[in-house]
């Protein structure tokens, strides 16, 4: 096993992750869906490194992960209320919500893109990490761009040498490579499913029945 691979049960793991992230590092993390690569949004160097590790086009945006529902209002302009967001039907959970971004996010992060995709994974490690950092985490899947997503760390072993710390959370409970359901909520009163992921049908039902939103069908 590589020396930069640690168990999610290791002592002082959160402290170690914070130290790496605050020094422009990139870590591989378990979530409630698939394994991800994580860096601080406020580290231009680390954000660039994520793209390089994945071989991802710089024009393709990254999502962010936060620790509290209130953080959505700092990073974006939600069209749902705090109560609608925090019932547990949406957050935390296997969903990525897209809203108009706030100007405090650095200009180099997803340049030229007006919306921001935000997650609070239903994963105690990710929630605690974000809450203790008090700043947004850039998050994307731990794989080479356009390759299948990873549900265990061995599936992205070829990337380990480029990552500062790989956190082994075992085979993820989701065991589902589709990742989170991505929902565009940037237009008030409407939703559009950008990616049909985990729990998609339940999420659609919640948005229609409890948030009284209409599904927006976008024709190309």
Write down the pLDDT at residue 50. Answer: 98
Q: Are 71 and 65 in contact (CB under 8 A)?
A: no
Q: Which helix (H) or strand (E) holds 132?
A: helix 124-133
CA distance 102 to 151: 32
Q: Are 42 and 106 in contact (CB under 8 A)?
A: yes
pLDDT in tens, 115-166: 999 999 999 999 999 999 999 999 999 999 999 999 999 999 999 999 999 9
Residue 15 tokens read as 């402290």
Residue 7 tokens read as 């168990």
Pick the CATH number of 4-215 from 3.40.50.620, 3.40.50.1580, 3.90.870.10, 3.10.450.200: 3.90.870.10
pLDDT in tens, 78-115: 999 999 999 889 999 999 999 999 999 999 999 999 99
**Rg of the chain's alpha carbons, rounded to an integer?**
17
Q: What proportions of the chain, in percent to the nearest 5, are helix, strand and coil? A: 30, 25, 50
Peptide bond into 34 cis (omega under 30): no
pLDDT in tens, 171-187: 999 999 999 999 999 99
């Amino acid at each position: 096993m590589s020396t930069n691979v640690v168990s999610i049960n290791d002592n002082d793991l959160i402290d170690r992750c914070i130290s790496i992230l605050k020094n422009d590092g990139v870590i591989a993390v378990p979530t409630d869906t698939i394994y991800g690569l994580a860096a601080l949004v406020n580290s231009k160097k680390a954000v660039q490194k994520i793209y390089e590790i994945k071989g991802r086009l710089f024009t393709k945006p990254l999502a962010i992960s936060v620790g509290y529902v209130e953080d959505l209002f700092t990073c974006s302009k939600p069209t749902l209320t705090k109560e609608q967001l925090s019932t547990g039907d949406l957050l935390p959970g296997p969903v990525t919500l897209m809203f108009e971004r706030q100007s405090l996010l650095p200009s180099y992060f997803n340049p030229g893109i007006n919306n921001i995709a935000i997650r609070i994974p239903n994963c105690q490690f990710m929630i605690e990490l974000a809450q203790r950092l008090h700043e947004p985490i850039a998050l994307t899947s731990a794989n080479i761009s356009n390759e299948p997503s990873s549900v265990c760390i061995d599936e992205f072993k070829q990337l380990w040498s480029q990552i500062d710390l790989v956190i082994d959370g075992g085979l993820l409970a989701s065991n589902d490579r589709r990742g989170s359901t991505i929902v565009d909520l940037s237009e008030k009163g409407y939703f559009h499913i950008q990616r049909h992921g985990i729990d998609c049908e339940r999420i659609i039902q919640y948005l229609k029945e409890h948030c009284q939103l209409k599904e927006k069908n976008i024709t190309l």
